[in-house]
Amino acid sequence: MIVRPHQHWFLRLFDWHGSVLSSIVFRLSLNLLMSVAAIIGYPWYSTFGIHLTTAPFSLIGVSIAIFLGFRNNASYARFIEARTLWGNMHITQRSLLRQIKCLRGISEAQVQEFIGLQLAFSWALKHRLRETDAKADLARLLPEKWHNAVLGHPMPTSQTLLCMGEWLAQRRDEGLVSDIVWQSIDENLSHLSAYLGGCDRLAGTPIPFAYSLILHRTVYLFCTLLPFALVADLHLMTPLVSVFISYTFLSLESLAEELEDPFGTAPNHLPLDALCVNIERNLKAMNNDFPLPEPHQPDKHFNLT
Amino acid sequence: MIVRPHQHWFLRLFDWHGSVLSSIVFRLSLNLLMSVAAIIGYPWYSTFGIHLTTAPFSLIGVSIAIFLGFRNNASYARFIEARTLWGNMHITQRSLLRQIKCLRGISEAQVQEFIGLQLAFSWALKHRLRETDAKADLARLLPEKWHNAVLGHPMPTSQTLLCMGEWLAQRRDEGLVSDIVWQSIDENLSHLSAYLGGCDRLAGTPIPFAYSLILHRTVYLFCTLLPFALVADLHLMTPLVSVFISYTFLSLESLAEELEDPFGTAPNHLPLDALCVNIERNLKAMNNDFPLPEPHQPDKHFNLT
Amino acid sequence: MIVRPHQHWFLRLFDWHGSVLSSIVFRLSLNLLMSVAAIIGYPWYSTFGIHLTTAPFSLIGVSIAIFLGFRNNASYARFIEARTLWGNMHITQRSLLRQIKCLRGISEAQVQEFIGLQLAFSWALKHRLRETDAKADLARLLPEKWHNAVLGHPMPTSQTLLCMGEWLAQRRDEGLVSDIVWQSIDENLSHLSAYLGGCDRLAGTPIPFAYSLILHRTVYLFCTLLPFALVADLHLMTPLVSVFISYTFLSLESLAEELEDPFGTAPNHLPLDALCVNIERNLKAMNNDFPLPEPHQPDKHFNLT
Amino acid sequence: MIVRPHQHWFLRLFDWHGSVLSSIVFRLSLNLLMSVAAIIGYPWYSTFGIHLTTAPFSLIGVSIAIFLGFRNNASYARFIEARTLWGNMHITQRSLLRQIKCLRGISEAQVQEFIGLQLAFSWALKHRLRETDAKADLARLLPEKWHNAVLGHPMPTSQTLLCMGEWLAQRRDEGLVSDIVWQSIDENLSHLSAYLGGCDRLAGTPIPFAYSLILHRTVYLFCTLLPFALVADLHLMTPLVSVFISYTFLSLESLAEELEDPFGTAPNHLPLDALCVNIERNLKAMNNDFPLPEPHQPDKHFNLT
Amino acid sequence: MIVRPHQHWFLRLFDWHGSVLSSIVFRLSLNLLMSVAAIIGYPWYSTFGIHLTTAPFSLIGVSIAIFLGFRNNASYARFIEARTLWGNMHITQRSLLRQIKCLRGISEAQVQEFIGLQLAFSWALKHRLRETDAKADLARLLPEKWHNAVLGHPMPTSQTLLCMGEWLAQRRDEGLVSDIVWQSIDENLSHLSAYLGGCDRLAGTPIPFAYSLILHRTVYLFCTLLPFALVADLHLMTPLVSVFISYTFLSLESLAEELEDPFGTAPNHLPLDALCVNIERNLKAMNNDFPLPEPHQPDKHFNLT
């Protein structure tokens, strides 16, 4: 995610790192080349009765814009849903700890143990979504007694949740938690299960592949043919207008593709590292467990992972 | 569902299996033929005062794009809802097992019995949605003592849910489950009932048939008449532009129709087999019931059913 | 609702009963007449300096398409909401019966009595929404002892719900239902109240009348003037293109109007009869109350009411 | 709200009272005048090199249509949300009374007292939203013993809700309501609080004022300049086409503005009076408190307030 | 937020303070200059074969309108979500106090203490979202005994919530609150946690930066090039039409950017100060704690912060 301090509208026009420009610059160059080819070749190939006009390209262009609008909506909705799932995780983790801390007769060690399980869950989910190794973080965060149950298990995230349920059942056995209170806390554990399942669903089920493919193809074919349609009217201005239109379509198509899977580490993806640290900071602060870990800071391009 | 490893943007342009291209190639050929007919026939039929121009086709084209955008939204929303229902089923099944496993005094055999009912429910729903025979899977998964109640019944999915309620009531009779805990678990059974009902609703109530029909018709008539509108301007380029525009409209119309019923086995449908195995793997792993069944893998065209 | 078996794309083009074509065929004929009038009158009235061109009609056409897209969205959302309310009713009725059947000490007669109240509620709601007489169905379904309370009452649907609450309170008096279990079952009664209220809201509050009126008017004026705008360019092809464009706009406007009130008996309305029978079949099957009533079948035009 | 019996499509074209036509007829006359000015002035001012063409107006027109579509969506969503809040209030009031009536040992006078508080809440909310004086209705509906607490209070709606909570606490004191039953009923009181808050939010926070302003301005400037852009092509037909296009844009802009605040008494606003009477009728019928008050009927223009 | 009394449609056209006009007036002037440059330079630069036509600008303009429509939707959804979160906070705070006040045996001092914590939470969240110093308000509102826990803490909002949980646990210890009642009240505390988390999510995660950037760029480039495309057709009318089109695009782009972060103090932002005072007034009125603080009033430009 890019977290940019407020920028003057003029400077923003020339911002390089923020946009997806770097990923489409090669394709825009191709479009520029095509425009030059159209200008040079026009007098020659038009003698064969080969000519393209703007009118049908206007039709196809507006249609593609409508479909691209649909694709951007779908991708953005996935981005927002992913962010909301992580936001709700933070909320639920905070509520869980409030419920635990307001129990009577619970020891500080037990609270610490539960916080460890909470944090292990968040970090394990992050590693699962980014397909990185969760071992180090789990070993750091998990209380000793739960190492066996989780560390060697093929599904550490789901297993950590089970351990939280078991921790709660043990408190019920000790009489610290009545059935009613168990119900309230258990409901929050089910919410954590829902966030895990929701993230899994987003990560495992992309937008139907044919949408990406059809739009990818039509956008490219459109941009490739566009200079030949413009050249009869615009002559020397063809490259400018053609690259401008192509930039609009290619960059939005490219951004929609990037947002489709919001759990990666590209500039417009969610800053899962920073979110995990935020949860850790909040839970530790609630337990007066200072000093807190430092919050993650954006790098010099304002990027936060 | 097609699960494709990351593809270079250039290669993606020529991907055959991913798109719905195979299902519309015949109709595109018709459009090509029509374009050739338009080029050949133009000098002749224009002498009769019969000519079509681009302007009204631009109007009708953009209008169809707007309505097609609406139809794609509706179909995609059904696809997403179906996927979310199955994702929520996974979540609820996991929460149910957590609640059961954290009961005190429950025997391993009883847990196994409940897991059997859980899995039977998922597989029965899959068979119901794909209209295949659930017998073999039910016989494999259901605990012996519930065979009678479910196997001969006309509605095995709904009946399995009733058996889960009965299993729970028996545990309440044995004093393992208090009223409060029963309430929490019973609420999750109601959620399973909601997923069954939600899938039934999607499968049983298509998008109002007239929408499909009106758009199907207008898209086809549009594509058929298009070459005759383009030929006066584009001459020899008519086939290229006409097939391009037709591809955009026909492929999106065809994809919207495919996504409308997301429970089938076409390339863009939901991978219900893989989802059922995922649930099975997760529940068995939670119960340390190794080895787990193998997860389903996409075939060589990256297709997952 | 039209439930059509899968149709070849070519045959679908000529399907008559599925679309709203029958309801707009008169208006399309008017449009055809207008086109002929435009062709015949064009040489004469253009001498008076009266002429229309395509450009402003393109603007107004695309604008109307956008607003029509909005109207279709609104109507379709009502259709989907209505269907979801009925789907949720099925879900809740099934969950209610599961909760009742898993009570201990309840007699078969008491379960039968409750099922009667459940079914009476569904059928009463159907009659309410279609403004038909519920007497016969209520007399058939309601248990004897509730006849007095419901049959002469001015609001039988709401009253049936009250009887279900009273039935539940009687079981609580008998000690079959604890407060907690009462809470779970009572929540489902509140859900039934919500479906009744939701359907009432849809039936009683149409889309603001001015929307229908403005779009109805602009679509008709547009279609009426269209031939005169097309005739200068298209001459003899005017009727074909004009009727084509009018068909797209008129049929979508007409369908949006039909879907706005989804509780009727027109081809694209909800099959409330079939839904009621489905609920009846499911509840009776759960109680092993065979033989089940036959499910409703579509008529020869694939129509299901 | 306008509740119109089914109208033939032809008659509907000439319906005056249903649409917002009356509120824009002056502005349409201005547009007509402008068209005439354009026709008369065209030969003269075009000699100065002042001319407008359709092409840029097509661009601006379609853009405005898109933004107007957005504004209509936002206004309509507010209308729907307002209606749903009132529909949900009806649902919750009915569920509350069912819960109260199924209590054991409660006296008829106590039920009457609670119904009085329920009705006072609905009517007080209506008066609050329409900024009318609630005194008379509150004095009519409120039970004597709550007059003091509510009638002189600056926030009678919120206060009535508090009285319902107090009524419930008194029943808990008397042992008629257990903690569990209190929880179920109290949850419904919180729902009433949510409807009050939701309506307050809609009434107090309009769509950001700049949206209204920007669209208001652009629509008017567009309609004013339009005749000058059309006159070169359409000559004598300019007034017809210009007024037609202006009608579409102005009427939808005007309707969006009307729907933005759905609690007024204009023709397309919500019939809060009728809704309040409906709730009153339903609650009294549930308590067999006949005769019921008469339902409100639309006036001769089919208007219901 | 701008709260304007009803304005005549004509006066509204010239309203200055309401719109975002002030923030784009410089950019519109640039556009005007560019138009003049286009008129003056046209005869000269067109001799070099440099010319732009309206057709491709129509295509790009409509496409930008579609994407801008998407961006406005996204920004407006954030504004609405933010407002709804604050509205729901008001609702939950009112329900919480109703639950507290209906407890038996609770002292007035304890209620006052809880109200203090409630108000401190709202004000602390406001300060957090606007990044202002919460100290003064917290010191004013917090009961003495909670000063230590909250005032020096790095996360005062989250900490206040924890104190509310602790307050509730103390009442449970005193026997004033049973487990069931604790559950109902604790659920509302979790809701407060959700509003805090939701606001944090909106404030911390802007719309993906690349969207802002791409649209910002394309809108500006479009407006800059537009006069050169219009001049060939419109000559002296170029400035009027060009500034008109630019106004529509720039103002909507600018407004979308303003609404994206709704917690600021610009004219179209949420009036958090007024909302906090409203909550304070409502809670104090419920406790008959008169006189109430004065409600905030809009300034002379109808602005409310």
pLDDT digits (tens, 9 = 90+) for B35-74: 999 999 888 887 776 777 888 888 888 899 999 999 999 9
Residues 6 or more apart whose Cβ sits within 8 Å of residue E185: E96, E99, E100, E168, E177
Percent of chain A with pLDDT over 90: 67
Distance from CA of E171 to the nearest CA of A (A): 11
Kindly indicate the confidence band of residue D193, based on its pLDDT and cuts at 50, 70 and 90. Answer: very high
DSSP state of E232: H
Residue holding tokens 């004009």? C242
Query: How confident is the model at residue B5, as a pLDDT?
Result: 65
Instruction: For residue A251, list chain E residues with Cβ-Cβ distance below 8 A.
Output: 210, 214
Residue E18 has a pLDDT of: 61
Tell me if D218 and E244 make a contact (CB, 8 A cut-off): yes
The whole-angstrom distance between B155's CA and the closest CA on chain A is: 28
* pLDDT category of residue D19 using cuts at 50, 70 and 90: low
Mean pLDDT of chain E: 90
What are the tens digits of pLDDT across the range B63-107?
999 999 999 999 999 999 999 999 999 999 999 999 999 999 999
Collapse the DSSP code of E303 into the 3-class scheme (helix H, G, I; strand E, B; otherwise coil) and give the result.
strand
Chain E residues near residue A91 by CB distance under 8 angstroms: 190, 193-194, 196-198
Interface A–B counts its CB contacts (< 8 A) at 189
Best mutation target among B24, B31, B84, B214 (most C Cβ atoms within 10 Å) is B214
Does residue D22 surpass a pLDDT of 80?
Answer: no
Residue E103: its chain D contacts at CB < 8 A?
Answer: 169
Average pLDDT, chain D: 90
Would you call E56 and A233 a contact, using CB atoms and an 8 Å cutoff?
yes
Radius of gyration for chain A, computed over Cα atoms and rounded to the nearest angstrom: 27
Whether A18 has a pLDDT exceeding 70, the answer reads no
**Cβ separation of A62 and E62 shorter than 8 Å?**
yes
A130/chain B closest Cα distance in angstroms: 15
Instruction: Assign C51 a pLDDT band (cuts: 50, 70, 90).
Output: confident
Lowest-pLDDT range of A105-114, B3-12, D97-106, D252-261 = B3-12
Top residue of C94, C192, C218, C292 to mutate, by most chain B CBs within 10 Å, is C94
Its pTM stands at 0.95
Measured distance CA(D164)–CA(D154) in Å, rounded: 17
Lowest-pLDDT range, C43-57, D232-246, E98-112, E217-231? C43-57
CB contact (8 A) between residue C184 and residue B189 = no
* DSSP string computed for E103-153: SSS--HHHHHHHHHHHHHHHHHHHHHHHT---HHHHHHHS-GGGHHHHHT-
Question: Cβ–Cβ of A181/E183 closer than 8 Å?
Answer: yes
Q: What pLDDT is stored for residue E237 in this prediction? A: 87
The larger pLDDT score, comparing residue A254 to residue A47, is at A254
Which residue from A56, A201, A210 is facing B83, i.e. has the nearest CB?
A201
- The kind and range of the H/E element at C297 are none
* Res C19: pLDDT: 60
Q: What is the pLDDT of residue B177?
A: 95
Cβ contact D197–E91 (<8 Å)? yes
User: Tokens 């991708």 belong to which residue?
Assistant: A75
Q: Which residue among C158, C180, C208 sits closest to D180, beta carbon to beta carbon?
A: C180
Q: Which of A272-281, C102-111, C207-216 has the lowest mean pLDDT?
A: C207-216
Per-residue model confidence (pLDDT) at position E118: 97
Of A4, A65, A90, which is closest to E197 when you measure between CB atoms?
Answer: A90
Write down the ipTM of this complex.
0.92
Rounded to an integer, what distance in angstroms lies between the CA atom of residue D65 and that of residue C220? 19
Q: What is the mean pLDDT of residues B239-259?
A: 91
Q: Do C198 and D91 touch (CB under 8 A)?
A: yes
Which of C154, C169, C198 is opposite residue D104, by nearest beta carbon? C169
| Identity of the residue in E9, E95, E183 whose CB atom sits nearest the CB atom of D190 | E95
Residue D97 in tokens: 């009374």
Note whether D235 contacts C51, CB cutoff 8 Å. yes
Chains B, C: CB pairs < 8 Å: 188
D19 Rama class: left (phi>0) / alpha (psi -120 to 50) / beta: beta
pLDDT at residue A235, as a whole number: 84
Instruction: Between D172 and A4, name the one with better pLDDT.
Output: D172
Higher-pLDDT residue of C6, E181: E181
Q: Quick one: pLDDT at residue E111?
A: 96
Query: Could you tell me the pLDDT band of residue A22, with boundaries at 50, 70 and 90?
Result: confident
Phi, psi of D93 (to 5 degrees): -60, -40
Please give the pLDDT value at position A19. 60
CA atoms within 13 A on the CB side of B132: 15
Higher confidence at residue E25 or residue B12? E25
User: A194 vs E268, which has greater pLDDT?
Assistant: A194
**Smallest Cα distance from C266 to chain D, Å:** 14
Chain C residues with CB-CB distance to B189 below 8 A: 95, 98
Q: What is the DSSP string of A240-273?
A: HHHHHHHHHHHHHHHHHHHHHSTTSSSTTS--HH
Distances (CA, A) of A222 to A29, A59, A218, C270: 15, 11, 6, 42
Q: Nearest CB to A201: which of B65, B84, B282?
A: B84
Mean pLDDT (chain A) is 90
Q: At A243, is the pLDDT very low, low, confident or very high (cuts 50, 70, 90)?
A: very high
Average pLDDT of the residues of chain B: 90
- Measured between beta carbons, the chain A residues lying within 8 angstroms of E180 are 180
pLDDT above 70 as % of chain C: 94
pLDDT at residue number B154:
92
Q: Which of B55-64, C20-29, C174-183, D182-191 has the lowest mean pLDDT?
A: C20-29
Q: Which of B70, B189, B194 sits opposite C73 (nearest CB)?
A: B70
Contact C12 B218 (CB under 8 A): no
Is the pLDDT at A302 greater than 90? The verdict is no
Name chain D contacts of C187, Cβ cutoff 8 Å. Answer: 184
What φ, ψ does residue A7 adopt, rounded to 5°?
A: -115, 140
Q: Is residue D74 predicted with pLDDT exceeding 90?
A: yes
In degrees rounded to 5, what are phi and psi of residue D297?
Answer: -115, 145
pLDDT at residue D21, as a whole number: 73
Out of A5-14, A160-169, B40-49, D124-133, pick the least confident: A5-14
Across the range C242-269, mean pLDDT stands at 90
Q: pLDDT value at position A54?
A: 83
What is the DSSP secondary-structure string of C238-285?
A: HHHHHHHHHHHHHHHHHHHHHHHSTTSSSTTS--HHHHHHHHHHHHHH
pLDDT of B274 reads 94
Of A28, A165, D213, whose CA–CA distance to E14 is shortest? D213
B59: nearest CB among C58, C101, C282: C58
- Weakest mean pLDDT among B17-26, B269-278, D180-189, D220-229: B17-26
Q: Which residues of C touch D104 (CB under 8 A)?
A: 169, 173
Question: What is the residue type of A204?
Answer: G
Chain A residues in contact with B54 by the CB 8 A cut-off are 53, 55-56, 59
D55 chain-C contacts, CB cut-off 8 A = 55
Helices (H), D47-178: 54-101, 108-130, 135-141, 147-151, 156-173
Query: Which of E98, E115, E189, E280 to mutate to test binding with chain D, by most D CBs within 10 Å of its CB?
Result: E98
State the pLDDT at residue E108.
Answer: 95
- pLDDT at residue E146 greater than cutoff 90: yes
Quote the pLDDT of residue C5. Answer: 65
CA distance D69 to A92: 38
Q: Which residue of A has its CA nearest to B66?
A: A66
- The average pLDDT across A241-269 equals 90
Least CB–CB distance from E18: residue in D49, D52, D213: D213
Of B58, B99, B268, the CB nearest to A59: B58
How close does chain C come to B38, measured CA to CA in Å? 15
Q: Do D190 and E102 touch (CB under 8 A)?
A: no
Position B64, amino acid = I
Cβ distance A267 to E216 less than 8 Å, yes or no, reads no
**In chain C, what residues touch B177 (CB-CB under 8 Å)?**
none
As a whole number, mean pLDDT of residues D81-109 equals 96
